[in-house]
Amino acid sequence: MITATGVSWAYAGRRVVDRVDLLARPGRVLGLIGPNGSGKTTLLRLLHGALRSPTGQVEVDGDPAASLGPREAARRLAVVVQESGGETALTVAEMVLLGRGPHLSTFQRLGADDHALALDCLRRVGADHLGARAFAGLSGGERQRVLIARALAQQATHLLLDEPTNHLDVRYQHEVLGLVRGLVEGPDPTAVVVVLHDLNLAARYCDDLVLLGDGAVVAAGPAGTVLDPAVLEPVYGIGIRRVEVDGQVHLLFQPTHQGAPA
């Protein structure tokens, strides 16, 4: 479980996260949504310790995150960010094996068990056939699968992802988020926090949502409650219609100002 209480951050004197409270529970996917510049990625960085809030605190399973050393933090928190490893010369297998680092002592070498676990993680994401390939030569969807496999190899109890569907086509968006969704439904449920721009993807794959606007929490709770046009329209500045098809929420968007005819 990740708990944030009153966390904040400012850039150049402008507060972009303003005393936010948040709870991410095991066995559930928590989505961070909001317009560009609303503080989603900054909040995620505060949760996994890339930034340290000057107010409040973040706790991981009841322990202050600031008290965790790098190795212990990596055993609890696995992070997948957009720009990770794009120009590396590593193979896919080597990239996934990096996830074993937190479980090795300073001079300990990777063993057969580590290699077997890495291969199993690649199988779980449907990428075991890519092991010998250069990571830099993969497609966007393949890279995301491999980065998630690396996170699985960490055997952390929490997974945090920053826009894992960015630059992916529709098929890969659903495949990647379906994979993430499966992690919280397995025998060892993970707590997942994911930054998403697409509200329909959030509706389909998230259990809970935190809606940010100008760095503050506008709404938080079950996805079906937060995805209310009356809540979303003032934040996004666009008309929204909510429909349900076969029990699944879908949002339709109508710009409030149409452009002039060409």
> What secondary structure, in 3-state letters, does 152-180 show?
HHCCCCEEEEECCCCCCCHHHHHHHHHHH
Query: Distance (Å, rounded) from C-alpha 159 to C-alpha 192?
Result: 5
pLDDT for the residue 253:
94
pLDDT band (50, 70, 90) for residue 260: very low
User: What does the DSSP 8-state code read for residue 39?
Assistant: S
User: What does the DSSP 8-state code read for residue 224?
Assistant: H
> For the chain, what is the largest distance between any 2 Cα atoms, rounded to a whole number of angstroms?
67
C-alpha triplet 85, 87, 92: angle, nearest 5°: 60
Q: Which of the given ranges, 138-147, 188-197, 216-225, has the highest pLDDT on average?
A: 216-225
pLDDT band (50, 70, 90) for residue 85: low
Residues present in the chain in total: 262
- Judge contact between 183 and 159, C-beta under 8 A: yes
Span 1-61+157-262 CATH architecture: 3-Layer(aba) Sandwich (3.40)
DSSP helix/strand/coil, 237: coil
pLDDT for the residue 261:
45
Query: Distance (Å, rounded) from C-alpha 91 to C-alpha 4?
Result: 36
Q: Within the chain, which residue ranges are assigned CATH 3.40.50.300?
A: 1-61+157-262
At residue 15, does pLDDT exceed 50? yes
Query: Distance (Å, rounded) from C-alpha 198 to C-alpha 205?
Result: 11
Query: Distance (Å, rounded) from C-alpha 219 to C-alpha 156?
Result: 28
β-pair partners for 249: 244
Query: Distance (Å, rounded) from C-alpha 124 to C-alpha 240?
Result: 37
Whether the predicted model's global pTM rises above the 0.85 cut: yes
